[in-house]
């Protein structure tokens, strides 16, 4: 979203900043679980509500069986925090909801709170992120931050999941394909639809593409056409809200609503330069249809086409002569849809217009796209229409990562994919599973123990860094205590698995990136990161994905981030400690899918663990 005058980056008003509220007006301080209010009351009652607490928001496992996640939703979190304030109506509802034994002073307290005393450090939106590393570190009075838990987790979970899903679809589709998000009708309600559109745009990791096709052969010329390929949406509301480019075709209903060409009343069409008028465009289309029916190269491919379909296409071309795109599978793609489309496109070409292409929405998309391409190329050759052979082919119909992959393996001629249900509903995985855990209170680190070691929280107010190796790839994310000196370029640092003593490695980083930056300083004077426009978030995502080592990205059995592979035998960045010499032992050494911690933090975690875990007694 472009920053507006009073937009997300806001202005200073007194000590707290003013910025637009969340995009969805349902995001209010009441959009939280009841238990946040009961805990807030109990904190207040115990006189603990002002105690300064630090919470980490993170997820435990990458989604979709992959080894990376895209972080999204931050701007909405900051907008929410910046505007966090109860209305009288909301307070009166909480009053009615909590037990009557709750004292009135609590409601006065609620009346007075905002997020001026809260600080939020966050990974930048659009970053590639990994399990266990805090995405957000939220510090403030415990009762206030507790109330923020549910909305913040909500505002990060789906955006990050769907952005990751979009990135994965983009990865399989390849950089050169146009991706259209078609999911609004299938999304989980209006917020799901708007969110999907916004965050799929972020996750569609395609850079602007310059592509050329050769045309003008008949004139002995080569015309280089520049196409700007982007992720596009059909969701008009999201287009308006976020300035995302919109694109669409038409549906089967439009085609089947026509019965015959006689329905077309106004048959005239201006040429593209306005220099002349074709009075009967319908007849011109018919003439072209006969020509292609009798053409040498296409003879026998089709007979009579469906005339009601031809009427629909002609009518659509009269409405949008400069953007004519036809859905060709209502009756029969090869025997009717494609020849009908070509007749209309050729008639448009006579008047200086270039048709936009076709959409296939059923059948074998690999086969049909290849047959369609052959047809287009034959038309270009026979009638000398430059560029006709490379006319765009869009495919849709229950597409997902697997079908895209299958199409790639078979070979296809699709230029653009329209993807709906599987993309926006995140069909392959329902939720990311973000959590919000207390890591410190009153400067005292806190830990949450669990039978399942992967669920043990990592205590302390922490700093997080990404360490990059010689080849420019990120090697490992490491967490340190707040006051530890940061890792330095060229200096060896010990990275330890937080819970497994034997898993450790020295890393000599070539670049160090601090991951958590201050996005909400509250009323402190700390410098605040700007909330970037949506297109910058998207560019960050594209760039970060390009930086990843390819084996982390592949669909089948990707290498977990920071697990060493055979190439590491030759890496001088890593020197493994201790006794392991063989490669297999090395591999096992760091094979925990955990984040790394500094030696000091490691020691502290284990000290705290032993302190908090009751000693069992066997009898
Ligand atoms: N070449 C292909 N390889 C693998 N999957 C494909 C291929 N072509 C299409 N698909 C996928 O196969 C499924 C076909 O869907 P379905 O069985 O509903 O047939 P349909 O073509 O939609 O039929 P209908 O004409 O009834 O709409 C879709 O999920 C589609 O994405
Ligand atoms: O298939 P999805 O990935 O969800 O993409 C969206 C679908 O929505 C539209 O038709 P719709 O499904 O409404 O009708 P249809 O199935 O009869 O084409 C469109 O033609 C796509 O097929
Ligand atoms: O524009 C389209 O072709 C479109 C939009 C939404 C769903 N299916 C198709
Ligand atoms: Mg469908």
Taking the C-alpha atoms of residue 482 and residue 484, their distance in angstroms, rounded to an integer, is 6
Q: Lowest-pLDDT range, 104-118, 266-280, 437-451, 604-618?
A: 604-618
- The number of the ligand nearest the C-alpha atom of 416 reads 3
Residue 179 and residue 149 share a domain? no
Residue 111 and residue 52 share a domain? yes
Q: Between residues 485 and 231, which one has the greater pLDDT?
A: 485
Q: Return the pLDDT at 566.
A: 33
Establish if 605 belongs to a structural domain: no
Residue 239 and residue 385 share a domain? yes
- The tally of domains found in the chain comes to 2
Residue 420 and residue 294 share a domain? yes
Q: Return the pLDDT at 299.
A: 74
Residue 341 and residue 225 share a domain? yes
Dihedral sign for Cα atoms in the order 30, 34, 36, 41: positive
Establish if 40 belongs to a structural domain: yes
Report whether pLDDT(596) > 50.
Answer: yes
The confidence band for 612, taking pLDDT boundaries of 50, 70 and 90, is confident
Residue 456 and residue 409 share a domain? no
Q: Domain boundary residue among 405, 425, 445? A: 425
Q: Return the pLDDT at 97.
A: 98
Quote the mean pLDDT of the chain. Answer: 88
Taking the C-alpha atoms of residue 571 and residue 569, their distance in angstroms, rounded to an integer, is 6
* pLDDT (average), residues 204-215: 37
Establish if 551 belongs to a structural domain: yes
Cβ atoms of 180 and 233 within 8 Å: the answer is yes
Taking the C-alpha atoms of residue 412 and residue 475, their distance in angstroms, rounded to an integer, is 36
Report whether pLDDT(229) > 60.
Answer: no
- For 384-401, the pLDDT digits (tens) are 999 999 999 999 999 999
> Tokens 């490491």 identify what position?
478
CA of 248 to the centre of ligand 3 (A): 6
Mention every residue, 6+ apart, whose C-beta is less than 8 A from residue 505: 476, 494, 495, 564, 574, 575, 576, 577, 589, 590
Residue 203 and residue 337 share a domain? yes
Q: Return the pLDDT at 50.
A: 98
Q: Return the pLDDT at 575.
A: 40
Q: Between residues 217 and 519, which one has the greater pLDDT?
A: 519
Q: Between residues 135 and 548, which one has the greater pLDDT?
A: 135
Residue 434 and residue 419 share a domain? no
Establish if 615 belongs to a structural domain: no
Establish if 240 belongs to a structural domain: yes
* pLDDT (average), residues 424-430: 97
| Residue 141, strand partner residues | 52
Residue 229 and residue 145 share a domain? no
- For 164-195, the pLDDT digits (tens) are 999 999 999 998 999 999 999 999 999 999 99
Establish if 482 belongs to a structural domain: yes
614: DSSP letter: P
CA of 313 to the centre of ligand 1 (A): 24
Report whether pLDDT(350) > 70.
Answer: yes
Question: Ligand 3: does its nearest atom lie under 6 Å from the Cβ of 62?
Answer: no
Report whether pLDDT(374) > 90.
Answer: yes
The two beta strands, 504-507 and 493-496, are antiparallel
CATH of the domain at 528: 3.20.140.10
* Dihedrals phi, psi of 22, to nearest 5 degrees: -60, 150
Q: Return the pLDDT at 316.
A: 98
Report whether pLDDT(12) > 50.
Answer: no
Residue 211 and residue 110 share a domain? no
Q: Note the ipTM here.
A: 0.97
The confidence band for 230, taking pLDDT boundaries of 50, 70 and 90, is low
- For 257-287, the pLDDT digits (tens) are 999 999 999 999 999 999 999 999 999 999 9
The confidence band for 296, taking pLDDT boundaries of 50, 70 and 90, is confident
Q: Domain boundary residue among 569, 591, 613? A: 569
Q: Between residues 119 and 216, which one has the greater pLDDT?
A: 119
- For 411-421, the pLDDT digits (tens) are 999 999 999 99
Residue 544 and residue 435 share a domain? yes
Question: Ligand 2: does its nearest atom lie under 6 Å from the Cβ of 55?
Answer: no
Report whether pLDDT(615) > 90.
Answer: no
The two beta strands, 136-141 and 128-129, are unpaired
Strand spans (E) along 420-473: 435-441, 444-445, 462-468
Instruction: Among 238, 420, 423, say which to mutate for ligand 3: greatest number of ligand atoms within 8 Å of CB.
Output: 420
Q: Return the pLDDT at 146.
A: 98
Residue 316 and residue 179 share a domain? yes
> Tokens 């069409």 identify what position?
269
The two beta strands, 462-468 and 511-514, are antiparallel
Establish if 61 belongs to a structural domain: yes
Residue ranges making up the domain that contains 43: 34-165+430-569
Question: Ligand 3: does its nearest atom lie under 6 Å from the Cβ of 363?
Answer: no
* pLDDT (average), residues 362-380: 97
Report whether pLDDT(588) > 90.
Answer: no
Q: Return the pLDDT at 594.
A: 58
pTM metric for this prediction: 0.90
Mention every residue, 6+ apart, whose C-beta is less than 8 A from residue 550: none
Q: Lowest-pLDDT range, 253-262, 300-309, 575-584?
A: 575-584
Q: Return the pLDDT at 231.
A: 63
Q: At what angle do helices 189-203 and 534-547 cross, to 10 degrees?
A: 50
CA of 184 to the centre of ligand 3 (A): 9
Report whether pLDDT(11) > 70.
Answer: no
Q: Return the pLDDT at 178.
A: 92
Question: Ligand 1: does its nearest atom lie under 6 Å from the Cβ of 370?
Answer: no
Encoded tokens for 380: 């270009």
Question: Atom 13 (ligand 2): residue with closest C-alpha?
Answer: 185
Q: Return the pLDDT at 618.
A: 86
Instruction: Kindly tell me the burial class for residue 13, based on how many C-beta atoms sit within 10 Å of its own C-beta (0-12, 13-18, 19 or more).
Output: exposed
Instruction: Among 186, 397, 414, say which to mutate for ligand 1: greatest number of ligand atoms within 8 Å of CB.
Output: 397
Taking the C-alpha atoms of residue 237 and residue 234, their distance in angstroms, rounded to an integer, is 9
Q: Return the pLDDT at 583.
A: 35
Instruction: Kindly tell me the burial class for residue 61, based on how many C-beta atoms sit within 10 Å of its own C-beta (0-12, 13-18, 19 or more).
Output: middle
Q: Return the pLDDT at 574.
A: 39
The two beta strands, 416-419 and 392-395, are parallel
Encoded tokens for 104: 């009135």
Q: Return the pLDDT at 215.
A: 32
Cβ atoms of 166 and 200 within 8 Å: the answer is yes
Report whether pLDDT(473) > 80.
Answer: yes
* 316 torsion bin: left (phi>0), alpha (psi -120 to 50), beta (else): alpha
Strand spans (E) along 340-409: 357-360, 392-395
Q: Lowest-pLDDT range, 142-156, 225-239, 426-440?
A: 225-239
Question: Ligand 3: does its nearest atom lie under 6 Å from the Cβ of 182?
Answer: yes
Q: Domain boundary residue among 399, 425, 451? A: 425
The confidence band for 561, taking pLDDT boundaries of 50, 70 and 90, is confident
Q: Return the pLDDT at 280.
A: 98
Mention every residue, 6+ apart, whose C-beta is less than 8 A from residue 513: 465, 466, 468
Establish if 587 belongs to a structural domain: no
Percent of the chain with pLDDT over 90: 76
CATH of the domain at 276: 3.20.20.70
Instruction: Among 332, 361, 362, say which to mutate for ligand 1: greatest number of ligand atoms within 8 Å of CB.
Output: 362
The confidence band for 31, taking pLDDT boundaries of 50, 70 and 90, is very high
Cβ atoms of 86 and 29 within 8 Å: the answer is yes
């Amino acid at each position: 979203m472009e920053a507006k005058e009073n937009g997300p980056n806001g202005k200073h008003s007194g000590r707290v900043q003013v910025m637009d509220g969340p995009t969805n007006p349902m995001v209010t301080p009441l959009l939280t679980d009841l238990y946040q209010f009961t805990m807030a009351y109990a904190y207040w009652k115990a006189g603990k509500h002002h105690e300064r607490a630090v919470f980490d928001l993170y997820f435990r496992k990458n989604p979709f069986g992959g080894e990376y996640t895209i972080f999204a939703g931050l701007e909405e979190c900051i907008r929410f925090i910046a505007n966090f304030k109860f209305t009288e109506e909301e307070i009166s509802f909480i009053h009615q909801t909590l037990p009557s034994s709750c004292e009135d002073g609590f409601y006065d307290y609620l009346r007075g709170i905002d997020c001026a005393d809260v600080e939020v450090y966050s990974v930048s939106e659009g970053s590639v992120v990994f399990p266990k590393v805090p995405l957000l570190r939220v510090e403030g009075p415990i009762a206030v931050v507790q109330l923020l838990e549910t909305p913040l987790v909500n505002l990060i979970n789906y955006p990050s999941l769907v952005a990751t899903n979009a990135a994965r679809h983009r990865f399989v589709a390849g950089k050169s394909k146009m991706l259209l998000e078609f999911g609004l009708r299938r999304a989980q309600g209006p917020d799901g639809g708007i969110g999907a559109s916004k965050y799929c745009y972020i996750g569609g990791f395609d850079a602007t593409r310059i592509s050329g096709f050769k045309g003008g052969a008949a004139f002995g010329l080569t015309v280089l056409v520049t196409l700007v390929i982007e992720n596009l949406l059909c969701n008009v509301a999201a287009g308006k809200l976020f300035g995302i480019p919109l694109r669409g075709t038409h549906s089967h209903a439009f085609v089947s609503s026509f019965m015959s060409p006689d329905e077309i009343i106004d048959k005239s069409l201006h040429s593209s330069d306005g220099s002349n008028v074709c009075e009967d465009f319908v007849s011109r289309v018919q003439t072209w249809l006969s020509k292609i029916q009798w053409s040498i190269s296409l003879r026998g491919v089709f007979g009579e086409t469906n005339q009601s379909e031809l009427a629909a296409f002609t009518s659509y071309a009269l409405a949008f002569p400069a953007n004519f795109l036809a859905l060709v599978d209502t009756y029969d793609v090869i025997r009717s849809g494609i020849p009908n489309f070509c007749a209309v496109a050729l008639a448009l070409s006579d008047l200086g217009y270039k048709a936009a292409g076709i959409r296939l929405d059923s059948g074998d998309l690999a086969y049909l796209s290849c047959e369609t391409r052959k047809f287009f190329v034959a038309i270009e050759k026979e009638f000398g229409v430059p560029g006709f052979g490379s006319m765009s082919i869009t495919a849709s119909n229950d597409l997902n990562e697997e079908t895209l992959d299958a199409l790639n393996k078979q070979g296809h001629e699709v230029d653009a994919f329209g993807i709906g249900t599987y993309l926006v509903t995140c069909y392959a995985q329902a939720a990311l599973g973000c959590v919000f855990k207390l890591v410190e209170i009153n400067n005292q680190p806190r830990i949450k123990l669990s039978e399942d070691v992967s669920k043990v929280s990592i205590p302390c107010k922490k700093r997080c860094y990404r360490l990059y190796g010689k080849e420019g790839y990120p090697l490992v994310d490491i967490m340190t205590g707040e006051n530890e000196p940061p890792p330095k370029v060229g200096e060896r640092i010990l990275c330890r698995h937080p819970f497994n003593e034997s898993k450790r490695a020295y890393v000599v980083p070539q670049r160090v990136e601090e991951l958590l930056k201050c996005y909400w300083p509250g009323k402190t004077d700390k410098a605040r990161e700007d909330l970037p426009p949506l297109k910058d978030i998207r560019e960050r995502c594209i760039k970060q994905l390009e930086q990843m080592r390819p084996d982390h990205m592949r669909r089948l059995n990707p290498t977990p981030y920071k697990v060493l592979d055979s190439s590491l035998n030759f890496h001088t960045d890593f020197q493994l400690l201790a006794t392991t010499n063989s490669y297999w032992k090395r591999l096992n050494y760091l094979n925990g899918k955990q984040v790394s911690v500094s030696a000091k933090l490691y020691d502290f975690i284990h000290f705290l663990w032993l302190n908090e875990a009751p000693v069992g007694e066997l009898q």
